[in-house]
Structure 1
Amino acid sequence: MPVIQVQTNHKNVPDGLEVRLALEMAKVMKRPESQIFVSLNTNSRMTRGQLTDPLAVLNVTSSSILTAQLTEEYTVALCEFFQNELSLDSDAVIINYRSISPELIGFNGHILTENRPIVTREKFIIGVLAIAILAFLTQFLKFL
């Protein structure tokens, strides 16, 4: 359940930018649109050194494990998005990534671990393999 917080000092942020960002990142992160939360603050006073040119600072928090490969993919997509939407160069966008444990995120009246299925994908695969092995052994023992 990614949360993307955007702060910018850009003076001409188009309406609906946060919705387009959520839709784009749902595709990139391979998540349902309803799981992407975006917060946009356009009233930020920002500087990089003494320069007050338009900037964007993003904080991306996820309950998923974020690898270098994933954050690189997300960074490319986010920089392209802000280049297209706000004409910001890649060096005017900084992104902080955080991966946090699901039990530290509350949503819909529960923490995320309470919303997860009891049988994980790994446990399901192990169970199916165990059943297949038992079926094979049963058939094999009939021939002995």
Structure 2
Amino acid sequence: MALLGFWLAHALTVKRERRKEAGEICEQIEELAEKALESALAGWGAAIGAERTSATYRAKWDAQKLGLAVTRLHNKTSDAFHTGINLIEAAATFRTALFDDPTEDFFDSSRASIGGKEAALHGAMSTFIARANQLRDIVLR
């Protein structure tokens, strides 16, 4: 009977720690999402030259950090919480809006500035943040 009590206490502690860790990752994701959107807009709007090169690689770096955090959260929550919310898909939509433009190459130093990308980036990020907030609410219940 005592072993059952110890096992139950351990199981509840592990569950609490998993929720706490997932909540911390959710907070990191919010910060990373804001930073990724800022750097994406800066990358598309930067003037031709060294500033543009730096801004585009900063945007790529920030998008990668966001993707890694989302994957880490997915690995922590998919088995434990069965939420049905797919942040990886939302992060991929943002990356697609950032990099996949059939008319302009994001890393081309001679391309035109932002054009119509601002609305697509804001739309993809707002969808991502809404899903992240839903997931955070489920995890922190």
Scaled by the length of structure 2, the TM-score of the pair is 0.24
Scaled by the length of structure 1, the TM-score of the pair is 0.23
Structure number with larger C-alpha Rg: 1
> Whose helix proportion is higher, 1 or 2?
2
